[in-house]
Amino acid sequence: MKTASRPVKKTQKSFADLPPIRVRREPPTVNEAVAAAQDLADDVEQQVEIAAGLMGLPADEVRPHVLAAKKARPERAPERILTHASPSRAPRTVVVERRTRPTVVIERRGRPLDPRR
């Protein structure tokens, strides 16, 4: 006859018992930094500053790469999505267009204007 053994509880390890976490830091490549900068800003000078900040390089070294990538980046065409057709209807086409909005400038004042003056 076999006896059922009780499950043994495992002791929880505390964070002090674990080895320290090692984080690997690699700066992005030029292409990665330029692509991120293009997605974040439309102005070329802002893209240069963003890419230089991400890579930790001076802006003068990054500027030629940003300018070369600006010429190579094609304009996005609208996406076309086809839906399934039923026997009684033809397939429908949906066109998705992305529009850029102008930047909004909000002027902040230190105090509200006094209407009594």
Q: Taking the chain (117 residues) in consecutive chunks of 10 residues, what is each chunk's mean pLDDT?
A: 64 74 85 91 92 92 91 63 63 70 69 62
The helix or strand, by DSSP H or E, that contains position 96, with its residue range, turns out to be strand 93-96
Looking at residue 76, what is its pLDDT?
62
The closest alpha carbon to 57, from 73, 24, 34, 23, belongs to 34
d(CA 62, CA 53): 10
Residue 2: both structure tokens together? 């076999």
For residue 13, what pLDDT is reported? 67
Place of tokens 């996005």: 76
> Does residue 69 sit in helix, strand or coil?
helix
Which residue, chain included where needed, has tokens 């890419």?
51
Q: Model's pTM, two decimal places?
A: 0.46
